[in-house]
């Protein structure tokens, strides 16, 4: 069981490492604008997924199976 927990924690660290503090959206070009909007969309979903995973981890640590 602890092997699974270690693997899950490693996966969470990998996802967390893909977070960025800033997504550049200064360009006026259509291609760059679409790319920056996709980056913002991706970052939003990564943050939501991490919030979900952190909540599950805290619930498991509190003894809620």
Range of the domain at 24: 2-61
Mean pLDDT by 10 residues, the chain (65 residues): 80 86 76 84 90 86 83
Residue 63's pLDDT is 87
The rounded distance, in Å, linking the Cα atoms of 46 and 26 is: 22
The rounded distance, in Å, linking the Cα atoms of 35 and 40 is: 9
Q: How many domains does the chain have?
A: 1
| This prediction's pTM | 0.67
Report the 10 Å Cβ neighbour count for 56: 13
Residue 25's pLDDT is 72
Is residue 16 within 8 A of residue 50, CB to CB? The reply is: yes
The rounded distance, in Å, linking the Cα atoms of 16 and 49 is: 10
């Amino acid at each position: 069981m602890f092997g699974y927990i270690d693997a899950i924690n490693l996966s969470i660290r990998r996802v967390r490492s893909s977070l960025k503090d800033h997504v550049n959206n200064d360009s006026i070009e259509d291609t760059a604008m679409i790319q920056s909007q996709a980056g913002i969309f991706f970052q939003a979903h990564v943050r939501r997924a991490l919030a979900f995973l952190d909540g599950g981890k805290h619930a498991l640590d509190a003894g809620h199976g």
